[in-house]
Amino acid sequence: MTGSLRLCTVVAGKNLRLEVRFGESFLVIAPFGAAALFLTPIAVGTDLPLLREVGPGMYWVVVLLFGALIALRQTGAEGPAQADMLTLAGVPPVVRLLGNALASGVLLLGLEVVLAPVVVMLYDPPLAGWPWLLAVLPGVAAGLALLGSIAEGLLESLGMRTTLGPLLIIPLALPLLLGATQAREAANAGAAPVSWLLLILAVDLVLLLAVLFTGRMLEDVS
């Protein structure tokens, strides 16, 4: 178990170093996400109450859509040759998938943190109950990262292109979107959104089990 965790962190560190070298997530994808948040007030107009109402929902929609791009970019960074090389080096597919998910989770959490001030500046949403975000943000980031790894494993086993990844990620991410938006609504109303946080945690645990199953399936295929 200790060796697997160490290999997982090595794979994640390798992916993060590649991201630091090329910077696609934060130099390309994150600015496009901020631009998407900027376009909505232009389309809606100067209806400030409406903007304050739709702002948090728009934030999570943008995180979901552009976060899927980050997760798929991380999973698509390795071709079959690189995956085979890692397997020959003693890195099992399940460890590789978990390492990719760990790196994607760090980047997705960074995306959430970068976009949050943009929403505050453009939409001026009510910030009551904002400390609950400290639990919601990593939960959603972990779920999207695990979904990216599941898409990677399924597409690899089927020999399909990673461009089909959004068709797998977006529908399965809807429970995360529901939990995040309803947690904000509950916190804004002064209630503790424990049930919605438990929903996000349950989704993350199910996705983690799915990643483990997918990794075992890849081991059997190889």
What is the rounded distance in angstroms from the CA atom of residue 202 to the CA atom of residue 208?
10
CB 144 within 8 A of CB 67: yes
What is the rounded distance in angstroms from the CA atom of residue 73 to the CA atom of residue 55?
27
CB 215 within 8 A of CB 94: yes
pLDDT at 111: 93
pLDDT at 179: 93
Q: Express each pLDDT in 115-136 by its tens digit.
A: 999 998 888 888 877 888 888 9
Q: In the Cβ-directed half-sphere of 125, how many Cα atoms lie within 13 Å? A: 22
Which two structure tokens, joined as six digits, stand for 143? Answer: 């779920």
H/E element, 159: none
Return the biggest CA–CA distance within the chain: 59
Q: Express each pLDDT in 84-99 by its tens digit.
A: 566 666 677 788 888 8
The pTM assigned to this predicted structure is 0.87
Amino acid at 149: S
User: Which residue has 């929609």 as its token pair?
Assistant: 61
What is the rounded distance in angstroms from the CA atom of residue 110 to the CA atom of residue 68?
14
Residues of the chain scoring pLDDT < 50: none
What is the rounded distance in angstroms from the CA atom of residue 204 to the CA atom of residue 63?
17
Residue 104: count other Cβ atoms within 10 Å of its Cβ.
31
pLDDT at 17: 86
User: Which residue has 């990643």 as its token pair?
Assistant: 211
pLDDT at 158: 66
* Closest to 146 measured CA to CA, from 202, 96, 208: 208
